[in-house]
Structure formats: structure tokens, C-alpha cells
């Protein structure tokens, strides 16, 4: 599965488990308007760390992503 | 800012003493009150005289009614309890009994709305001058309890305002704000800085979207603002951080890592970024303004500041005039025989700086909210498929830590993940529900018979 597909699939799984209604997931969607709150986003980051073995935030100096597109790009760039 | 003689003057006298220009206000998302209105009016129903020397609990969902009440009650009442809006109503009767509360002040919302109360409003009605008083009112805060009823921590205006004498120059036209509720220690610090510094105060509002709060802060001209690292990460993630232009950004309530300090320095290039360490019981120990995570080792055992610190068995201990005097209704004191409070926060020395490495008791800090692992384990362990479980913190770049659970299954059982999580959701607050469950073969038990708890 591509990184994009993994991110989107994890978002859907977490939303379902946390009983959140998702907005249509396009790249311009601000993450905090997606229906996920910051606790869900924290869970997403941990789940992606497990699924992809990637934690782009660990570098410390990353720009915090605002949109879904920024978020996916962060993981795609971290994968090299 | 000089610390005024707080022990002899009331909060209102000190706030008013800094001047009451018409533009000086306290406000939230729904209302704004010019402080000057309180010099010839009141937000509290009926005669103030019945409140003189009384024990009063102030409860409302919004912070504004509570702030107005506090300004009128300090110096007049014997004891003021600042009840947080999320206190479960079931705990109220024992709080009222333990604190010997004579009157409840309420705006008709919050945990005390169902009982008898004196109305306190979010606005000021013109009246005779409020009488005030010179009593050394006990200001009682609720611990952000992890399990069971919160403890009641007794402070005074003197202990609460001790940290304000830190040499920070505050312009009288400053506007303070905080993501915190001001009925919590971290938020109350900011409110007191505003009131005693001659400044205005913008209150946060439960349920308000972060971008709306930032917009409101920007429009109100907020110059000084505080929050937990998780509050700030959320602000940066909203894309709306630029809607305000603060001069001073403060972090407290959680460990500030280098990442969030650097991000804030980028987002607010002209602001001073400071992170502080404080607890409801110990008060503010220090703040660090060099932009680096951790704190310089030189702060330990220096006698120059108002707060002295030492590290004993790896945990940070604090002694200062800012320490709370006692818990109401408890035999156990807050400080040891030498006056030091054991914070339970573990620190490690690396290259001349101390860094926080977690809590001794394994308490997990999710975005500033504390979780005791045993409380979550108790819920998980009730499920028939579970032999034993261990709940611990997992580092999170978004929330500081997340709650995760390791589960040892009963022989012949499979993991009923959804059922376990459902019971956690039913019985625990959102942030306490494990983000992840993992099946393990065994959990290590120490010679003492206790679960071995690794630090996150």
C-alpha cells in the first residue's frame, strides 16, 4: 500500500473507532477540520509509526502540518 | 513587576490600585466587563454582608462569572473554592462538607446548578460600592485529580502571587490570555499576572474552536499568552497561529520539548518564549527563557531565587513561599519536614541541564491531563478475556504522551479489542481510553509483587 493509502486508511479506521464523522478527505482539508481532534491525530501519528516505521515528527524541527496534503507529504518525504 | 503586600490587601484592592482605565477588561467569547464597573457595582445577587467571613464555593461553566466573583470575594470571604466546570456533580456534596461551605455562588450552569445557590452573573449591575475586606482569604484549588475526588489545595493570595516577582517587566497596557481554565493553577497564575500587573485578560472558552480563540485573542490585542505544549501544537496545527502577535509565549503543564520551542520561535519570531514548571501544590518552581528544553543545572540548590529545588532519588523537590499550605480535610501534609514538596517528576542530568523523564508513579500526561495507569487497568482487567494488563505512556509528538495498554490474555481466550475499548469509553474520559492495545505473552512482576512499570 502506498503511504498515501496507508494514511487515509488509518484515518478512516481511527475515525470509525473513535466514532468521529469525517469530512471529505482532500488535500486542502485542514487536519483539525477533518473530524479528528488532536487526540485522534496523536493516535494517527502513533499508528503510522507502527504501520510505516516512520515518525517524521521525531526530527523535532519539522513544520507542523496544517492540511491533510501537508501531513501526507511529511510522511512521503520522511520515507525518502 | 514587584510583588505587592498581598497578605494585607485584597485582590480587588491590588487590581484597582494599578488603575482602572475604561479599556481595562476581563472577557470571554460571550462577554466583556470593564474592571472599572466593579468599583460601583456587583455581579453577585443580594447583600454582600452575608458573605463576610463565609466559606463560598464558586461554580459556573464559563470562567467570567467566576473571575468577577473572585474579585469581590477575596478579602471578604474566609474561604473561596474555585470549582472547575468538569467536577462530577456526585462529588459536590463531599466537597461542600469537607470545605464547610456556607454558600454556593453559581450562574445557573456547571456542577452546582442543581442545588441552592446565590446567583452570580457574567456582568456587573450598578450598586453601592462593594464593601471588600482585609481578610486573608483562603483560595482553594482542586487538583486535576486522576482518579476519585480531586483534593482541595489551600493557597492564599500571597502564595499564589509569589511567582509574579520574577523581574518580568509588564507594560500596563498588556493583554494576557491563556488556553487554560483560570480555575486551574496554571490559568490562575495568568489571571493574577493580568490583574496585579494592571493589564486586561482574555479568557478561553470551553468548546470554542482553537482558530476562533486565536482570532479573538488577536482582535483583543493579546500580548502575553500561556498554554501547555499540546495547546500550542494544536494552535500551530490550526494554521491560525498568525491571527495573534504576542510578545510573550509561555508553556507549562507538560514537558516542553525542543521541537515545540523551536516551532513557536518560528511562528512568533518577536516573542519571548518561556517554559515554566509548576504544580497546584508546589506552585511555580522556575521558568526558563533561553529557548532550550530542560533547565540549567545551576537552578538546583541555588538559594538566590524564591524557590529552592533539589533532586532526591531522581525526583524534583521544591521549597518556596509559593507552596500551598495544606490539603483541606487531609491528615497528610503537602511538604516534608524541611518544607520541600516532592513533585514526583523524575529528572536526569545531561550536559549541564536537567531534563524531565517522566513520573515516578507512572502517571501519564496526555496533553496536560494526568492519567493513573491503575485506573485504566482496573477497567481493562474486568473483561473476561484479560488475565492482566499494564497501561503505560507512549511518547507522542502531538499530545506529549498517549495511553497504551499491554494485555496478557487468559489461556484459551482471544483479544476482544472492541469490547474492551467500549467499556473503557463508557467508564473513562476520552484521553484515558487506550489508543492502542497490544497482546503480550507475559508482564514482569517485581519482587515486591508489583507490576514493573517502565518509564515512557
Average pLDDT, chain A: 92
pLDDT in tens, B268-304: 999 999 999 988 888 888 889 999 999 999 888 665 5
- CB contacts of A55 in chain B (<8 Å) are 397
Please say whether the beta carbons of B278 and B186 come within 8 A: yes
Q: Which three cell numbers stand for residue B212?
A: 476562533
pLDDT band at residue B450, thresholds of 50, 70 and 90? Answer: low
Average pLDDT, chain B: 89
User: Strand, helix or coil at B354?
Assistant: strand
What pLDDT is stored for residue B456 in this prediction?
45
Contact B396 A46 (CB under 8 A): yes
As a whole number of angstroms, the distance between CA B344 and CA B363 comes to 9
**DSSP structure class, residue B93:** H
The answer, for B235 touching chain A at a CB cutoff of 8 Å, is: no
The answer, for B256 touching chain A at a CB cutoff of 8 Å, is: no
The predicted complex's ipTM stands at 0.92
- CB contacts of A39 in chain B (<8 Å) are 366-367, 399, 430-431
What pLDDT is stored for residue B45 in this prediction?
94
pLDDT in tens, B380-408: 988 999 988 999 999 998 998 999 999 99
- CB contacts of B431 in chain A (<8 Å) are 39
Q: Minimal CA–CA distance to B144: which of B87, B207, B204, B79?
A: B87
The answer, for A23 touching chain B at a CB cutoff of 8 Å, is: no
Question: Closest chain B residue to A40 measured between Cα atoms?
Answer: B435
Per-residue pLDDT averaged across B62-70, rounded? 98
Chain B closest-CA separation from residue A35 CA (Å) = 12
Burial B312-323 (b: 16+ CB within 10 A, else e): eeeebbbbbebb
pLDDT band at residue B145, thresholds of 50, 70 and 90? Answer: low
What pLDDT is stored for residue B168 in this prediction?
67
Q: Is domain B11-349 classified as CATH 3.30.420.40?
A: no
User: How many other C-beta atoms lie within 10 A of the C-beta of residue B128?
Assistant: 10
Contact B230 A67 (CB under 8 A): no
Q: Does B2 score more than 50 pLDDT?
A: no
As a whole number of angstroms, the distance between CA B385 and CA B408 comes to 9
User: Strand, helix or coil at B223?
Assistant: coil
Q: Does B453 score more than 80 pLDDT?
A: no
Per-residue pLDDT averaged across B339-352, rounded? 90
Q: Angle formed by the axes of helices B417-427 and B373-381, to 10°?
A: 130
As a whole number of angstroms, the distance between CA B315 and CA B305 comes to 20
Burial of B286: CB neighbours in 10 Å, binned 0-12, 13-18, 19+: buried
**DSSP structure class, residue B39:** G
CATH class of domain segment(s) B364-439:
alpha beta
Pairing label, strands B369-371, B364-366: antiparallel
Please say whether the beta carbons of B376 and B367 come within 8 A: no
The CATH number for A48's domain is: 1.10.1200.10
Q: Minimal CA–CA distance to B69: which of B88, B48, B90?
A: B48
Backbone φ, ψ for residue B43 (5° rounding): -105, 0
pLDDT in tens, B420-449: 999 999 989 889 999 999 999 988 876 666
User: How many other C-beta atoms lie within 10 A of the C-beta of residue B119?
Assistant: 13
What pLDDT is stored for residue B401 in this prediction?
92
As a whole number of angstroms, the distance between CA B260 and CA B257 comes to 6
What pLDDT is stored for residue B5 in this prediction?
46
Q: Closest to B435 (Cβ–Cβ): which among A38, A46, A65?
A: A46
Could you list the residue range(s) of the whole structural domain that residue A65 is in? 3-79
pLDDT in tens, A31-68: 999 999 999 999 999 999 999 999 898 776 778 899 99
Per-residue pLDDT averaged across B170-191, rounded? 91
As a whole number of angstroms, the distance between CA B288 and CA B276 comes to 6
- CB contacts of B394 in chain A (<8 Å) are 46
Per-residue pLDDT averaged across B76-83, rounded? 97
As a whole number of angstroms, the distance between CA A65 and CA B238 comes to 9
Question: Closest chain A residue to B438 measured between Cα atoms?
Answer: A50
Q: How far is CA B121 from the centre of its chain?
A: 23
Q: Minimal CA–CA distance to B178: which of B258, B306, B278?
A: B278
Q: Which region, left, alpha or beta, applies to residue B107 given φ > 0 means left and ψ of -120 to 50 means alpha?
A: alpha
B306-309, long-range: CB within 8 Å, 24+ apart, which pairs?
Answer: B306/B162, B306/B163, B306/B165, B307/B283, B308/B340, B309/B285
Contact B394 A46 (CB under 8 A): yes
Q: Angle formed by the axes of helices A38-52 and B229-237, to 10°?
A: 90
pLDDT in tens, B85-101: 989 899 999 999 999 99
Amino acid at each position: 500500500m502506498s503511504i498515501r493509502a496507508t494514511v487515509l486508511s488509518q484515518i478512516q479506521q481511527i475515525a470509525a473507532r473513535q466514532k468521529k464523522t469525517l469530512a471529505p478527505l482532500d488535500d486542502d482539508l485542514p487536519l483539525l477540520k477533518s473530524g479528528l481532534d488532536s487526540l485522534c491525530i496523536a493516535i494517527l501519528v502513533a499508528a503510522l509509526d507502527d504501520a510505516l516505521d516512520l515518525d517524521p515528527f521525531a526530527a523535532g524541527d519539522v513544520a507542523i502540518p496544517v492540511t491533510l496534503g501537508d501531513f501526507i507529504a511529511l510522511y512521503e518525504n520522511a520515507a525518502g | 513587576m514587584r510583588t505587592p503586600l498581598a497578605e494585607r490587601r485584597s485582590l480587588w484592592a491590588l487590581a484597582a490600585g494599578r488603575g482602572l482605565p475604561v479599556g481595562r477588561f476581563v472577557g470571554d467569547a460571550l462577554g466583556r466587563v470593564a474592571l472599572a464597573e466593579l468599583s460601583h457595582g456587583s455581579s453577585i445577587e443580594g447583600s454582600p454582608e452575608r458573605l463576610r467571613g463565609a466559606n463560598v464555593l464558586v461554580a459556573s461553566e464559563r470562567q467570567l462569572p467566576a473571575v468577577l466573583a473572585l474579585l469581590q470575594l477575596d478579602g471578604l470571604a474566609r474561604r473561596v473554592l474555585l470549582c472547575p466546570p468538569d467536577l462530577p456533580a456526585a462529588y459536590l456534596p463531599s466537597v461542600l462538607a469537607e470545605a464547610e461551605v456556607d454558600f454556593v455562588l453559581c450562574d445557573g450552569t456547571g456542577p452546582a446548578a442543581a442545588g441552592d445557590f446565590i446567583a452570580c452573573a457574567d456582568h456587573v449591575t450598578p450598586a453601592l460600592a462593594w464593601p471588600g475586606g482585609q481578610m486573608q482569604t483562603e483560595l482553594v484549588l482542586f487538583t486535576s485529580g486522576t482518579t476519585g475526588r480531586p483534593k482541595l489545595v489551600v493557597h492564599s493570595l500571597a502564595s499564589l502571587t509569589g511567582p509574579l516577582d520574577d523581574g518580568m517587566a509588564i507594560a500596563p497596557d498588556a493583554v494576557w490570555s491563556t488556553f487554560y481554565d483560570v480555575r486551574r493553577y496554571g490559568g490562575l497564575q495568568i489571571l493574577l499576572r493580568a490583574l496585579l500587573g494592571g493589564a486586561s485578560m482574555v479568557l478561553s472558552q470551553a468548546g470554542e474552536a482553537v482558530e476562533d480563540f486565536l482570532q479573538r485573542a488577536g482582535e483583543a490585542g493579546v500580548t502575553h499568552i500561556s498554554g501547555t505544549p499540546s495547546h500550542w501544537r494544536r494552535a500551530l496545527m490550526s494554521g491560525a497561529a498568525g491571527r495573534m502577535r504576542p510578545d510573550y509565549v509561555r508553556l507549562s503543564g507538560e514537558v516542553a520539548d525542543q521541537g515545540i520551542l523551536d516551532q513557536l520561535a518560528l511562528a512568533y519570531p518577536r516573542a519571548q518564549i518561556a517554559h515554566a514548571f509548576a504544580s497546584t501544590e508546589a506552585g511555580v518552581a522556575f521558568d526558563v527563557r533561553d529557548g532550550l528544553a530542560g533547565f540549567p543545572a545551576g537552578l538546583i540548590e541555588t538559594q538566590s531565587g524564591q524557590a529552592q529545588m533539589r533532586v532526591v532519588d531522581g525526583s524534583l523537590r521544591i521549597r518556596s513561599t509559593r507552596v500551598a499550605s495544606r490539603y483541606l480535610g487531609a491528615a497528610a501534609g503537602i511538604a516534608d519536614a524541611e518544607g520541600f514538596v516532592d513533585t514526583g517528576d523524575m529528572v536526569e542530568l545531561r550536559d549541564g541541564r536537567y531534563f524531565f523523564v517522566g513520573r515516578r508513579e507512572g502517571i501519564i500526561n496526555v496533553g496536560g491531563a494526568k492519567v493513573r495507569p491503575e485506573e485504566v487497568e482496573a477497567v481493562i482487567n474486568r473483561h473476561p478475556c484479560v488475565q492482566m494488563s499494564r497501561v503505560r505512556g507512549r511518547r507522542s509528538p502531538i499530545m506529549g504522551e498517549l495511553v497504551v495498554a499491554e494485555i496478557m490474555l487468559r489461556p484459551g481466550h482471544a483479544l476482544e479489542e472492541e469490547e474492551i475499548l467500549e467499556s473503557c469509553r463508557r467508564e473513562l474520559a476520552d484521553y484515558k481510553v487506550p489508543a492502542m492495545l497490544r497482546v503480550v505473552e507475559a508482564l514482569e512482576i517485581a519482587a515486591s509483587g508489583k507490576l514493573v512499570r517502565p518509564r515512557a
